[in-house]
Amino acid sequence: MPSSTPLFSYRKFWAKRFGTAAVLPMSREEMDDLGWDSCDIILVTGDAYIDHPSFGMALIGRLLESQGFRVGIISQPDWHSKEAFTALGKPNLFFGITAGNMDSMVNRYTSDKKIRSNDAYTASGEAGKRPDRSVIVYAQRAREAFKGVPVVIGGIEASLRRIAHYDYWSEKVRRSVLPDSKADMLLFGNAERAIVELAHRLAQGETIAEIRDIRGSGFMTQSIPDNVTVINSTDVDQPGRVEAHIDPYQQTPDCKDKPESANDNIVQFESRRSKLDRDTTVIRLPTYDQVVNDTVSYAHTSRVFHLETNPGNARALMQQHGKRLVWLNPPPEPLTTDEFDRLFELPYTRLPHPSYGQAKMPAYEMIRFSINIMRGCFGGCTFCSITEHEGRVIQSRSEDSVIHEIENIRDNVPGFTGHISDLGGPTANMYRLSCKSKKIESSCRRLSCVYPGICENLNTDHKPLISLYRRARSLPGIKKIFIASGLRYDLAVESPEYVKELVTHHVGGYLKIAPEHTEQGPLSKMMKPGIGTYDRFKEMFEKYSELAGKEQYLIPYFISAHPGTTDEDMLNLALWLKKNNFRPDQVQAFLPTPLAIASAMYHTGKNPLKSISRTSETVNTVSGAKQRRLHKAFLRYHAAENWPLLREALKKMGRADLIGNGKRHLVPNWQPSASQSKTKTGDQTKPKTNYFAQHKTAVKPAKRQPKKSQKQPHTKQRNQP
């Protein structure tokens, strides 16, 4: 893997003499109090400013401050004119633009394209405080405010739109965000290395037009350097043997029993020109016009794009947009443990900016007492955007750093009651998991380390995580450490000791996990393990709950309308839910986010997990509004308002035998009155019962009963990016 300049090794900028700000300023008055006449860098964000490392602007802002720069924040500006973008004056180096912690379109619209009534990243949850496609709008307003000041875009919204991409909300392929925003540079992924290098080079007098070699950066150009070799994407995509889809009802195979060869991957690539120097090679993707007009070209582009995501072997990419090229350098090198520790140990207040007063911040309330211990995910789920943004290489903090943060919360954060709400990240139990060989890791092209089975080169040792949990829960003043991040149960079952520690000490009554589906068709398109692995984890969960004398429950997540899903698949899932007495309240419908592999399936009807051609595998997609409603209705088979739609569908499917009033039936053959249906229960002959009484997924200990006042939890819709 290439060597980068250590993150904290740069000579600090001269403005370090001003010291550390209590909070980064959001007004000229605050700048005056700090003795600043100007800001070196102004960060514009679609979120409320919360000085907490879980919020991107605080993390990037404090990092730049640690390098000696004066950093100001413009939070949720009025985008209808340039005036709000002049509030802190002209920045000396650049504007940094982001939509915030969430994509602005996902933030504002549901998967059914309905406007959400609230915004968790805004004071008091108020909706409407950011524009659609915030990065484009903010960048254009910043350019209007101060012509000639470099504009740099980043964050998840920019990362997911760095090349031509299918846009679910407009139902068309849009250009890269670079030409639409007219930004000078795009920094994709976790951009700490890139933004620090950029800031120092600009401060030393380089112009942004001269800076073309920063990893993790993208820009528009009209020419290709003379020393660069261009290869076409069709020269790159030479797939090896395609692994047959595994039976989702079987447990995840053990790599020790079945050694994996170099070609035993669901996607395996080999370059016909592998001897070329990767540092001086760029891959020419199909042009914007080609991917707009040809779904096969789009699917091929998606396939090649995901090939070039490993920092150890990725090459530069370019895609023509009109007369200019979008140029993307290889992804950034992951942070070391020491760098990651220092990043999270910067002087965050862990509080909202004082200007918000007593207003509640829903997202802040959720993560107020949580701790990020890692980033990245090697799961490769095709519907998820973590790969496109954070990458597959796991970056973990040291145990000492995490413990220090817990102690800091305990001693300094107002309102702390002894409960840490989460020790996690994108995935709860990938902490310190990595490839056994750095050489293999840097050359690997697998899209997932755990599908169709766990790679034999993957270290699945959970002992470091177990040690962290035990040390954390033994700290004085700590009553409970919860684990709320998503759990990879196919990894967890490899470590019974971890499952025992988790279930015995870190579950707050119920644990949410994500099988996503039960059927082979959608699971193979998601790259998710089979339901047999879920059953194996469930057995372990119940065993250790019983041994601990606790009544605890699994709450599974499922997705409706995912590519590869048929009506029959959803019916089978509904029957599984009924058999297991699950009655989901809120459900998640597939939302195609830009650049995700599943989104390419949705748009093209092709499968980028296999070689793409005119005659290659087609994927069933669920795009019509009525069919999407039907698939959601199958997940909520118990809700009376869904019964008419389900009866109609069951008759068309030849499954009218599932309509009736018996236990073997899915829906009754009668419809309650409007007042009765408000209870939303699937059995109107019985009173509404406690949620845990309905969800028998754990052994019930003899001497414990659910409290009568216990509230009924429900499955919340997740934000996919």
pLDDT score recorded for residue 288: 98
In degrees, rounded to 5, the angle at the alpha carbon of residue 105 between the alpha carbons of residues 327 and 144 is 60
pLDDT score recorded for residue 185: 98
pLDDT score recorded for residue 235: 87
Sign for the pseudo-dihedral over CA of 412, 413, 415, 417: negative
* Lowest mean per-residue pLDDT among 72-76, 430-434, 599-603, 609-613: 609-613
Tens digits of per-residue pLDDT, 224-246?
998 899 999 988 885 333 333 33
Same domain, 167 and 282: no
Q: How confident is the model at residue 276 (pLDDT cuts 50, 70, 90)?
A: confident
| 133 DSSP 8-state letter | T
Q: Please, what is the end-to-end C-alpha distance for the chain in angstroms?
A: 27
* Section 291-318 average pLDDT: 95
Burial class (CB in 10 A: 0-12, 13-18, 19+), 152: buried
pLDDT above 70 as % of the chain: 88
pLDDT score recorded for residue 675: 61
Residues 6 or more apart from 633 whose CB is under 8 A from it? 639, 642, 645, 646, 649
pLDDT score recorded for residue 464: 98
Q: How confident is the model at residue 688 (pLDDT cuts 50, 70, 90)?
A: very low
Tokens matching residue 225: 């350097």
Tokens matching residue 705: 């009963």
The three state secondary structure string of 163-226 is CCEEECCCCEEECCHHHHHCCCEEECCCCHHHHHHHHHHHHCCCCHHHCCCCCCEEEEECCCCC
Same domain, 306 and 157: no
Tokens matching residue 259: 């050694």
Q: Is residue 152 part of a domain?
A: yes
Helix (DSSP H) and strand (DSSP E) numbers for the chain: 26, 23
Q: How confident is the model at residue 703 (pLDDT cuts 50, 70, 90)?
A: very low
In degrees, rounded to 5, the angle at the alpha carbon of residue 392 between the alpha carbons of residues 388 and 395 is 115
Q: How confident is the model at residue 585 (pLDDT cuts 50, 70, 90)?
A: confident
Same domain, 516 and 499: no
pLDDT above 90 as % of the chain: 82
pLDDT score recorded for residue 603: 97
Q: What is the CATH number of the domain that holds 163?
A: 3.40.50.280
* Section 689-708 average pLDDT: 35
Q: Which of 506, 525, 558 is the last residue of a domain?
A: 506
Q: Is residue 405 part of a domain?
A: yes
- Taking 60 as the threshold, does the pLDDT of residue 261 lie above it? no
Same domain, 63 and 147: yes
Same domain, 47 and 126: yes
Q: How confident is the model at residue 716 (pLDDT cuts 50, 70, 90)?
A: very low
* Section 682-703 average pLDDT: 34
Q: Is residue 356 part of a domain?
A: no
Contact assessment for residue 429 and residue 492, using Cβ atoms and an 8 Å cutoff = yes
Q: Is residue 8 part of a domain?
A: no
- Taking 90 as the threshold, does the pLDDT of residue 406 lie above it? yes
Q: What is the CATH number of the domain that holds 402?
A: 3.30.750.210
pLDDT score recorded for residue 676: 61
Same domain, 559 and 647: yes
For residues 351 and 682, the model is more confident at: 351
Tens digits of per-residue pLDDT, 178-196?
999 999 999 999 999 999 9
Q: How confident is the model at residue 3 (pLDDT cuts 50, 70, 90)?
A: low
Tens digits of per-residue pLDDT, 193-227?
999 999 999 999 999 999 999 999 999 999 999 88
Q: Is residue 424 part of a domain?
A: yes
Chain mean position to CA 431:
16
Helix 463-473 with 399-412: angle, nearest 10 deg: 20
Q: How confident is the model at residue 701 (pLDDT cuts 50, 70, 90)?
A: very low
Contact assessment for residue 510 and residue 555, using Cβ atoms and an 8 Å cutoff = yes
Q: How confident is the model at residue 693 (pLDDT cuts 50, 70, 90)?
A: very low
Q: What phi, psi does 207 have (nearest 5°)?
A: -90, 155
Domain that holds residue 37: 14-221
Q: Is residue 357 part of a domain?
A: no
Same domain, 582 and 673: yes
Residues 6 or more apart from 303 whose CB is under 8 A from it? 237, 267, 600, 608, 609, 612
- Taking 60 as the threshold, does the pLDDT of residue 626 lie above it? yes
Tens digits of per-residue pLDDT, 564-574?
999 999 999 99
- Taking 80 as the threshold, does the pLDDT of residue 108 lie above it? yes
Q: Which of 476, 506, 536 is the last residue of a domain?
A: 506
**Count of domains observed in the chain:** 4
* Section 349-364 average pLDDT: 96
Q: Which of 450, 481, 506 is the last residue of a domain?
A: 506
* Lowest mean per-residue pLDDT among 47-51, 388-392, 593-597, 647-651: 388-392
pLDDT score recorded for residue 363: 96
Same domain, 78 and 215: yes
- Taking 90 as the threshold, does the pLDDT of residue 532 lie above it? yes
Same domain, 306 and 375: no
- Taking 50 as the threshold, does the pLDDT of residue 253 lie above it? no
* Section 351-377 average pLDDT: 96
Q: What is the CATH number of the domain that holds 637?
A: 3.30.750.200
Same domain, 373 and 270: no
Pairing relationship of beta strands 324-328 and 217-221 according to DSSP bridges: antiparallel
Q: How far is CA 596 from CA 212, 291, 379, 509, 703, in A?
A: 26, 15, 13, 34, 48
Same domain, 652 and 561: yes
For residues 472 and 696, the model is more confident at: 472
Q: Is residue 256 part of a domain?
A: yes
Q: Is residue 700 part of a domain?
A: yes
| 351 DSSP 8-state letter | E
Tens digits of per-residue pLDDT, 459-477?
999 999 999 999 999 999 9
In degrees, rounded to 5, the angle at the alpha carbon of residue 16 between the alpha carbons of residues 10 and 19 is 135
CB atoms within 10 A of CB 616: 14
Same domain, 23 and 42: yes
Pairing relationship of beta strands 316-321 and 229-232 according to DSSP bridges: unpaired
* Section 32-44 average pLDDT: 98
pLDDT score recorded for residue 275: 62
pLDDT score recorded for residue 719: 38
